[in-house]
Amino acid sequence: MAIVFHIPGALREFTAGRSRVEIENPATTLADALSALWTIYPGVRDRIATEQGQVREHINIFIGQENTRYTGGLATPVAAGSEISIVPAVSGGCEDCAMPGGDVG
């Protein structure tokens, strides 16, 4: 069975408009699964991860209903049929990101 990615609107520009991407891949961890995703759609990579390979601070990645931030991060196991959702943080993330530094002192 394939791994299924749910792509948020902001990133569909980089997935040929697809909101759902299925990948046949024997990935065992979230890191493997993401690598497989951006081998196909490379533009997604820098939106989700920093140049040092960390998932961005205000991006959450869920496997099923579980936020992988609390289940081992990139090492979280992925099984065939896993549904992976990429979701920007709802409140704090957005505002935290928008406001810092206006008037740096």
Partner 1 sequence: MIGQILGHCRILAKIGEGGMGTVYRAYDEVLHRDVAVKVVNKDARLDPSSSQRLLHEARASSSLAHPNICTIHDVGENEGEFYIVMELVEGKSLAAMAEVGGLAPESVLRYGVQIASALARAHDRGIVHRDLKAANILITNEGLVKVLDFGLAKQAGSGIFEGPTRSFATMEDTSSVSGTLPYMAPEILSGNADDHRSDLWALGVVLYEAASGRLPFEGRTGFEISSAILREIPNPLGPPVPPGLWAVIQRCLAKEPIQRYQRAGEVQAALEAVQSAAIVSPDPAAESTQPRTTILHSVRHAHVRKGDFLLLVGTTKGAFILRSNAQRTRWDVGGPYFHGHNVYSMAFDSRGGRHRIWASTQSYWGTLLRSSDDFGKSWTNPQQAPIRFPSDTGVSLKNIWQITLGRPDEPNVLYCGVEPAALFETRDAGESWSLVRGLFDHPHRPRWMPGNGGLALHTIVLDPANTQRMYVAVSAGGVYRTEDGGSTWTAQNQGIRVMFMPDKYPEFGQCVHKIALHPDRPERLFLQNHWGLYRSDNCGDKWTDIANGVPSDFGFSVVMHPRNPDCVYIIPVESDEFRCACDGRLRVYRTRNGGASWEPLARGLPQKGAYETVLRDAMTADSFDPVGLYFGTRSGQIFGSRDEGRTWQKIRDGFPSVLCVRNAVVEDGCVGLTPPATKPTAKHQTKGRSKSRTRRSSR
Residue ranges that bind partner 1, judged by CB under 8 A: 10-11, 13-14, 31, 34-35, 38-43, 45-54, 56-59, 74, 88-89, 93-94, 97-105
Helix (H, G, I), strand (E, B) or coil at 83: strand
Shorter beta-carbon distance to partner 1: residue 4 or 59: 59
Shorter beta-carbon distance to partner 1: residue 77 or 88: 88
Tokens of 13: 């520009």
**CB 73, min distance to partner 1, A:** 9
Inter-residue contact 9 to 47 (CB < 8 Å): no
Strand bridging mode 3-6 / 83-88: parallel
